[in-house]
Amino acid sequence: MRAPKSTSSPDYVIVGLVVILTIFGLVMLASASSDLARDRFSNSFHYLNNQLLHGLVLGAVGFLFGFFTYYRRWEKMALPLLIITIILMLLIFSPLKFAAKGASRWIDFGVFTVQPAEILKLTFLLYLAAWLSKNEKRSRSVGEGFLPFLILVGIVMALIIIQPSTTTALIIFASSLVTYFAAGARLRFLVGAVLLAALGLSVVVYFTPYRLERILTFINPEANELSSGYHVNQSQMAIGSGGLFGVGYGNSTTKLRYLPEPIGDSIFAVIAEELGFVGGGLLIAAFGVLILRGLALARHAPDSFGRLLVTGFVSLIGIQAFINVASVSGLIPFTGVPLPLISFGGTALAVFLTMSGIIVNVSRYRR
C-alpha cells in the first residue's frame, strides 16, 4: 500500500512526552539500580547498560520504524505478526525458556532474552484493530463480533495466565475492551465480557493460593507484614519517607536491602522517595497528559483502523501505568507490573516505543 502525503505535522506533544518519559526512566533506573547492580555484578551501571543496549537501541529503531511506516501497512501485517508472537509464547514451554522467581516468561536466545507477552501487547492490539475495522457492524453482532472477540481474548489471556502473569492478561483484556467499546460494541456485550472475565479469574484465584493471598493481604495488610504484605508495606514506607520534595536523587535508603524489585515493579516507590510527592505527581501528570492527548488524537484519526489502533495503544499504556502506581501505593491489591517507559525491561521499553512511533505516524494523517 502506497502511503499518501501526510496531511498534518506529527504530534510533537506526544513525541516530547515520550522522549521525556524515556530519558527520565533511564535517569531513575541509574539511581534505582546502582546499589543492586554493584552488589550483584560489581558494576553500578550493569542494569542501565543493559537497558540502553537491549531496550533503548531496539526501541529507537522501533519508534523510527513506526514513525516512518504508513500506519495502514500494519493492517496487512497484523495477522502474521500475531501468529509469530503466539509461536514465541509457546516457546516459553520449550527448552529455550528462561524462568525467574517461579515464572516462565522469557525466551533465552543466548545473547539476549525476549519476553513474548510484552510483544503480544503490541501485536494483539494491532490485530484487534484490524479485525474490528474491517466490518464496523461486527462489533454490534453476537455471532460475528462478541463471541469471536471472547474467543480471541480468552486464548490470549490463557496463554499469559499459565506463565503465570495474571496482571498482564488483565491489562490486555482491559485495553482490548476499551478498543472494542471504541469500535461501537453494545454496552451489554461489554458488561457480559467483564462478568465472564471476573468469573474466570475468580476460579483461577481460588485454585492458586498465592493470588488469593494477595487479595487477603490487600484487605488486611498488617496481618502479613513479613510475607505477602512485605512488598507493598515497604513500597508505602518508601513513598511516605519521600515527603513533599524527596530525600534527594540517589539517596533512597530502601532500594537495596528493603524494597523488592526496585528497578521493576517498585521503581515508582524509589521515584517518590527520592523526588517526593512533587516528583511522583509530575510523573503521573505526564502520563495523564500523554493519555488524554492520545485519546484526542484517536477522535481525529482519518479512519476506523487508525482510531482503534491509537485507542488500544494509549489505553494499554494508561491502564498499565495506573495499575503499577496504584498497586505500590496500596490502592489496589499488589501485583507485579512494570511502569511503562520507566521500569527495567528491554522488551517492554522497545514495545512501548514502537507503539509510540505508530501513534505519532497516525497523527501525521489526522483530520
Domain boundary assignment for the chain: 75-352
Q: Which secondary-structure segment (H or E) carries 100?
A: strand 97-100
Helix (H, G, I), strand (E, B) or coil at 266: coil
Average confidence (pLDDT) over 114-119: 89
Residue whose C-alpha is closest to residue 236's, from 273, 262, 261:
273
Confidence check: pLDDT of 7 > 90: no
Cell of 328: 505500590
Contacts of 155-159 with CB under 8 Å at 24 or more apart are 156/120, 156/124, 157/197, 157/200, 159/86, 159/89, 159/90, 159/120
Is the per-residue pLDDT at 100 higher than 60? no
Q: Taking the model in full, what pTM does it have?
A: 0.91
Cis peptide upstream of residue 164 (ω within 30 degrees of 0): yes
If you average pLDDT over every residue of the chain, what do you get?
A: 88
**For residue 324, what pLDDT is reported?**
94
What is the distance between the alpha carbons of residues 247 and 240, in angstroms, rounded to a whole number? 11
Q: What is the mean pLDDT of residues 261-280?
A: 93
Phi (first) and psi of residue 105, to 5 degrees: -120, 0
Is the pLDDT higher at 50 or at 145? 50
Q: What is the DSSP string of 191-247?
A: HHHHHHHHHHHHHHHHH-HHHHHHHHHHH-GGGGTTTTTHHHHHHHHHHHHTTTT-S
Q: Would you say residue 296 has pLDDT above 60?
A: yes
Place of cell 537495596: 256
Report the pLDDT averaged over residues 89-116.
71
pLDDT digits (tens, 9 = 90+) for 140-183: 778 778 899 999 999 998 888 887 788 899 999 999 999 999 99
Q: In whole angstroms, what separates CA 359 from the centre of its chain? A: 15
Q: What is the mean pLDDT of residues 87-101?
A: 74
How, if at all, do strands 113-114 and 97-100 pair? Answer: unpaired
Q: What is the pLDDT of residue 208?
A: 74
CA-based nearest residue to 339, from 293, 238, 289, 270: 270
What is the maximum span of the chain, computed from C-alpha positions, in angstroms?
62
19 vs 217, residue with greater confidence: 19
Return d(Cα 91, Cα 87) in angstroms, integer. Answer: 6
> What is the model's pLDDT at position 336?
76
pLDDT at 233: 80
Given this model, what pLDDT does residue 344 score? 92
Q: What are the CA-CA distances from residue 282 to residues 110, 170, 240, 268, 278 (Å)?
A: 39, 26, 16, 12, 6
Sequence letter at residue 32: A
Across 33-60, average pLDDT: 91
| DSSP per-residue letters across 298-335 | HHT-SSHHHHHHHHHHHHHHHHHHHHHHHHHTTSS---
pLDDT of residue 332: 83
Contact predicate 264/336, CB 8 Å:
yes
Q: Which of the four pLDDT bands, split at 50, 70 and 90, describes residue 190? A: confident
What is the Cα–Cα distance from 118 to 86, expressed in whole angstroms?
Answer: 12
